[in-house]
Chains A and B, each alone.
Chain A
Amino acid sequence: MSKELLFKYVLTLGDDALILGQRLSQWVYKGPFLEEDIALSNISLDMFGRANLFLEYAASLKGSTTTADDLAFKRNEREFSNHILCEQPNGNFANTMARQFFLDAFYKLFFEKLAESEDEQLSAIAQKSIKETTYHFRHSSKWVIRLGDGTAESHEKMQSAIDNLWMFTDELFEMNEVDNNMLTQKIGVDCLTIKAKWDQIIDEVLSEATLKRPENIHMTSGGREGIHTEHLGHLLSDMQYLQRAYPDAEW
C-alpha cells in the first residue's frame, strides 16, 4: 500500500518535469533570439533529465519490467498526474516565462524541503534539482521583470500572462491523500508551509516588475487525479506517436 502511494508521489514529480520539458522543447528554433533559444533548450534538457530520474525511480517501485520510457510513452491522459500548470501551451514568450516563473518559485522551495526527505533517492534527486532550479528561477524571474518593466506592449503581455495562468497556481499547494501519507512518513513535503514563502517571492518579483498580483480569480485543479485541460491529450499524442504506432519496435 505504502509502495503504491510512494509510486504515485514520485510519478507526479516525474510527470511535472516531463510535461514541462516537452512544452519547452517546442520552443526550439522559435525563440526571440538565438541565445534565448539555447537557454530554453537548456531548461528543457534539465527537465527531461529530472523526468528520467523520477520516472526510473517510479518504474523501479512498480516492479516487473516497467521502464521510465513505458511510463512516459505508454500511459493515457487520465493516468498522468502532473499539475495542470505544466501542460499549459507555450503561448507567447510572456506566457512561457510566467508559467516557468510560477513553477520555478514553487520547485525551488519544494526541493529544498524534499532534500530533507528520509527517502534517499528522493533526497538525492532533490539536491541535484535545487542547483538547476536556482538557475532557472534567476532566468525566469529576471524575464518577468524585464518584460513587466520594459515597454507598454511587453507590460501588457506580461500582465495578461500572469492573470491567465494564475488560476492554476493553487493546485501546486494542494495536499491530497498521497501527500499527507508521504508527509507522515517524512518522505514528502508539506506544501501548505511553503505557500507563504512562495507568495512572498511572487509578490517581490511582481512588484519589481511593476505588475499586479491577480485577485479574486477562481482556482482550478484536478491534474493529480488525472483531470486535465484538453491541451494534454494533444501533447501526448504528439509525444507518444512512435511508441504507439510501432509498439514492437525498440528505438
Chain B
Amino acid sequence: MSNNNLPTWEVFIQPKTGASFEHAGNVHASDKEMALQNARELYTRRQEGTCIWVVKTEDIVSSNPEDQQSFFDPADDKLYRYPTFFKVSKKAKGL
C-alpha cells in the first residue's frame, strides 16, 4: 500500500513575544527540522507567530478525563490561594 504515514508532531505557536504558547494542531514529518518547517508552512501563513514548538505526539503525556475529580477538585477548598480570601483595611494601599 502506498499510504505509509510519517509520524505526527503537535504544534505550539507563540502568537506574539511574551505570550504563552498555544496548541495549534498537528503536522506530519519524518524529522525535527521537517516538523518545524511544516509547522511554519501550515500554521503561520499569515504571520500568526513569533516562535514555534513542535513535539512528537507520542511524547506528550496527558491526564485522563476520569482523573478530573481527583486531579482538580481538591483545589476547590483552598480559597486562601486567592487574594480575595484576605480582609485588609481599604486604607492599606499597594497590596
Assess the B34–A142 pair: CB atoms within 8 A: yes
Assess the B30–A35 pair: CB atoms within 8 A: no
Listed A/B pairs (25) with beta-carbon separation below 8 Å? A33-B6, A33-B28, A34-B28, A35-B27, A35-B28, A35-B29, A35-B38, A35-B41, A35-B42, A36-B38, A38-B38, A38-B41, A38-B42, A39-B37, A39-B38, A39-B41, A42-B45, A138-B33, A138-B37, A139-B37, A142-B33, A142-B34, A142-B37, A146-B30, A146-B31
A139 CB, min distance to chain B CBs, angstroms: 6
Return chain A residues, CB-CB under 8 Å to B28.
33-35
A78 CB, min distance to chain B CBs, angstroms: 37
Return chain A residues, CB-CB under 8 Å to B29.
35
Return chain B residues, CB-CB under 8 Å to A35.
27-29, 38, 41-42
Interface centre among A33, A142, A146 (most CB of B within 10 A): A33
Measured CA separation A138–B29 after assembly (Å): 15
1/0 per position for A111-138, CB-CB distance to B under 8 A? 0000000000000000000000000001
Measured CA separation A139–B36 after assembly (Å): 11
Q: A39-B37, A42-B45, A142-B37 are in contact. List 15 more A-B contacts (CB 8 A).
A: A33-B6, A33-B28, A34-B28, A35-B27, A35-B29, A35-B38, A35-B41, A35-B42, A36-B38, A38-B38, A38-B41, A138-B33, A138-B37, A139-B37, A142-B34
Return chain B residues, CB-CB under 8 Å to A33.
6, 28
1/0 per position for A32-47, CB-CB distance to B under 8 A? 0111101100100000
- 20-61 of chain B: CB within 8 A of chain A: 27-31, 33-34, 37-38, 41-42, 45
Interface centre among A35, A36, A42, A142 (most CB of B within 10 A): A35
A5 CB, min distance to chain B CBs, angstroms: 38
Assess the A42–B41 pair: CB atoms within 8 A: yes
Return chain A residues, CB-CB under 8 Å to B41.
35, 38-39, 42
Return chain B residues, CB-CB under 8 Å to A36.
38
1/0 per position for A138-156, CB-CB distance to B under 8 A? 1100100010000000000
Total count of chain A residues near the partner, CB < 8 A: 11
Q: Give chain B's interface residues, CB within 8 Å of chain A.
A: 6, 27-31, 33-34, 37-38, 41-42, 45
Q: Give chain A's interface residues, CB within 8 Å of chain B.
A: 33-36, 38-39, 42, 138-139, 142, 146
B28 CB, min distance to chain A CBs, angstroms: 6
Return chain B residues, CB-CB under 8 Å to A39.
37-38, 41
Measured CA separation A138–B37 after assembly (Å): 9
Nearest residue, chain A, Cβ from B5: A33
Nearest residue, chain B, Cβ from A143: B34
Measured CA separation A142–B27 after assembly (Å): 18
A149 CB, min distance to chain B CBs, angstroms: 12
B19 CB, min distance to chain A CBs, angstroms: 23
Return chain B residues, CB-CB under 8 Å to A34.
28
A44 CB, min distance to chain B CBs, angstroms: 12
Measured CA separation A39–B35 after assembly (Å): 12
Measured CA separation A22–B1 after assembly (Å): 32
Measured CA separation A139–B41 after assembly (Å): 11
Nearest residue, chain B, Cβ from A39: B41
Nearest residue, chain B, Cβ from A139: B37
Measured CA separation A146–B37 after assembly (Å): 14
